[in-house]
Amino acid sequence: MTAALRVLLVDDEELARVRLRSLVEACAAPRATVVGEAANATQALVWLESQPCDVLLLDIHMPGRDGMQLAAELRQRARPPAVVFVTAHAEHALRAFDLDAVDYLTKPVRRERLQAALQRVAQRLAPQAAAPAPLAEAEPVVVVSDRGRVVRVPVSQVLYLKAELKYVTLRTADHTYVLDDALSDLEQRLGPRFLRVHRNALVARHAVRALERRVIAGSDEEGGESWAVRVAPVDEWLVVSRRQATAVREALVAAGL
C-alpha cells in the first residue's frame, strides 16, 4: 500500500488549520495525514529541521516572513517539500507558480479541489521506473483569474495577447481572459514562440496564417488601411505595424505559408 502523504499545515489562523486538517483527513485518494502545524514561517522552519514532510499547505499572509518568502527559502534546499498555497487572495497566483508551487487554492477550499492538489503532489513524488525515459519539460502556463477562479492556461493554447487600455486580453480558441500583467513582461516570459506584431499585440507563431493589407479598426495609417495578420483558428485579424511587417512576413515564410 502506498504511504500516506505527510502534510505540514502553515497558517497563522488556528480555525483555518482546523478546517484544513479535516479536509485532508477526508481525502480518500491519495491518502494523506497531517503530521504537523505551524502558525508562521519561523515555526515551520524549526519543525522541518527535525522531521520531514511531503507537502506544505501554506498560507501567504502571515506575521513575519510571508508564505512566498518561506517557499522561496525552501526552494534552495536539495530536496524541498512540495508547496500548495492556500490563501484568501488570488492575486499572488502568478508569482506562486514562478516558485514552482504544485497548486494554488483560494479559500474557502473545497475538498475536491484539495484532493486534486494532493493528487498532483503524489504524481510529482511518484518513484520513477528503474530506467525512465527523459522527462519532458512541464508545459508552461499563463495564470489568470476568471470569475474568481484561478486558471492555468497552457501557453500552447494561447493564440494572441493584446493590450487594451489598462489590461491585456488573452485569446484562446474558445475563450477570452483578461490579465493585469504588462504586455512587455508577458513577452519576456513567453519567449520566441510569440511574435510582436504591434506595440499592443503578441501573436503565437503557430497561429499566424496570412499577412494582408486591410481596412481594419485600430490602424495607425491614414485611411485606416494597414497590414494585418490573420489568426487561426478564430479567423480574427490584428493590425501589424509597418515596423513589424517584415518580421511577420519572415515568420510566414519560415512556416511555409
- Enumerate the domain spans of the chain: 5-125, 153-254
Q: What is the pLDDT of residue 140?
A: 81
For cell 492555468, the residue is 152
Per the model's pLDDT, the better-predicted residue between 150 and 19 turns out to be 19
Confidence of residue 2 (pLDDT cuts 50, 70, 90): low
Fold (CATH) for 153-254:
OB fold (Dihydrolipoamide Acetyltransferase, E2P) (2.40.50)
**pLDDT tens, residue by residue, 120-142:** 899 888 754 334 444 445 578 88
Q: Is the separation of the CB atoms in 34 and 54 below 8 Å?
A: no
Q: Compute the average pLDDT of residues 218-240.
A: 81
Is the pLDDT reported for residue 16 higher than 60? yes
Is the pLDDT reported for residue 7 higher than 70? yes
Confidence of residue 218 (pLDDT cuts 50, 70, 90): low
Is the pLDDT reported for residue 190 higher than 50? yes
Q: How far is C-alpha 168 from the chain's CA centre?
A: 16
Q: What is the pLDDT of residue 82?
A: 92
Q: Is the separation of the CB atoms in 159 and 234 below 8 Å?
A: yes
Q: Compute the average pLDDT of residues 144-152.
A: 75
Helix (H, G, I), strand (E, B) or coil at 132: coil
**pLDDT tens, residue by residue, 167-182:** 899 999 999 998 878 8
Q: What is the pLDDT of residue 11?
A: 95
Predicted TM-score (pTM) of the model is 0.54
For cell 518580421, the residue is 247
Return the CATH number of the domain spanning residue range 5-125: 3.40.50.2300
**How high is the mean pLDDT of the chain?**
84
- 215 burial (CB, 10 Å; 0-12 / 13-18 / 19+) is exposed
Q: What is the pLDDT of residue 135?
A: 47
Q: Is the separation of the CB atoms in 32 and 4 below 8 Å?
A: yes
Is the pLDDT reported for residue 39 higher than 90? yes
